[in-house]
């Protein structure tokens, strides 16, 4: 069953009371989608291994920008047989997928001894928190991650929110 966060609020009734929330959305936004979240990565080999082998995402599209010395790797949960073979068609298809991760690699960061890394959001000043992945069984998924060598900053049930399954 999918994992959900349990929040004790009648959301529909409370929606109109949330300051700043527009409940009557502009019709011109009806075809907008949340297409990607961009994360900067130090070493694409390490990051691609994590997102593909550990999380089970596929590489949907890779774009290289030699003149600007960076590459983009678009990762997501799509079936291999649905990924177009033609590169132009694949690019158009990639940018219509929902909820992808764009890994941005600025060339040379992986071998720069002075590079201290990107801010991870866990130290001050706090910023980025996490991406959410729905799994059938969070405990089994976490056990698998541990067997594969993933080091947790915080396990899903270690925070103030409790996780429940449907």
How many CB atoms are located within 10 Å of the residue 48 CB?
Answer: 18
Q: Per-residue pLDDT for 17 more than 70? A: yes
Residue 162, pLDDT score: 55
- Tell me the per-residue pLDDT of 92-110, one tens digit each, with 9 for 90 and over: 999 999 999 999 999 998 8
Q: DSSP letter for 126, please.
A: P
- pLDDT band for position 10 (cuts 50, 70, 90): low
Q: Per-residue pLDDT for 8 more than 50? A: no
CA torsion 87-91-97-99 (nearest 10°) is 110
Residue 134, pLDDT score: 87
Query: Coil, helix or strand for 100?
Result: strand
Query: Coil, helix or strand for 14?
Result: helix
Mean local confidence (pLDDT), 52-80: 97
**Whole-number mean pLDDT of the chain?**
86
Query: Coil, helix or strand for 54?
Result: helix
Q: Per-residue pLDDT for 119 more than 90? A: no
- Tell me the per-residue pLDDT of 43-63, one tens digit each, with 9 for 90 and over: 999 999 999 999 999 999 999
- Tell me the per-residue pLDDT of 124-155, one tens digit each, with 9 for 90 and over: 877 777 788 888 888 899 999 999 999 888 88
Query: Percentage of the chain surpassing pLDDT 70?
Result: 87
Q: Which residues of 83-110 are buried (b: 16+ CB within 10 A; e: fewer)?
A: beeeeeebeebbeebeebbbbbbbeebe
Residues 164, 52: Cα–Cα separation, whole Å:
26
């Amino acid at each position: 069953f999918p994992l959900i966060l349990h929040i004790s609020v009648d959301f529909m009734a409370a929606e109109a009371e949330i300051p700043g929330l527009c409940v009557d959305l502009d019709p011109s936004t009806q075809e907008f989608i949340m297409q990607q979240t961009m994360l900067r990565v130090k070493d694409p080999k390490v990051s691609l291994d994590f997102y593909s082998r550990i999380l089970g995402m596929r590489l949907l599209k890779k774009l290289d920008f030699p003149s600007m010395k960076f590459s983009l790797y678009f990762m997501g949960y799509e079936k291999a047989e649905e990924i177009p073979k033609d590169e132009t068609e694949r690019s158009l298809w990639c940018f219509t997928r929902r909820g992808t991760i764009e890994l941005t690699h600025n060339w040379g960061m992986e071998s720069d001894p002075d590079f201290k890394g990107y801010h991870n959001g866990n130290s001050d000043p706090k910023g980025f928190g996490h991406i959410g992945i729905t799994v059938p069984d969070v405990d089994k998924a976490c056990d698998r991650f541990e067997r594969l060598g993933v080091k947790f900053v915080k396990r899903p049930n270690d925070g103030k929110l409790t996780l429940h399954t449907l």
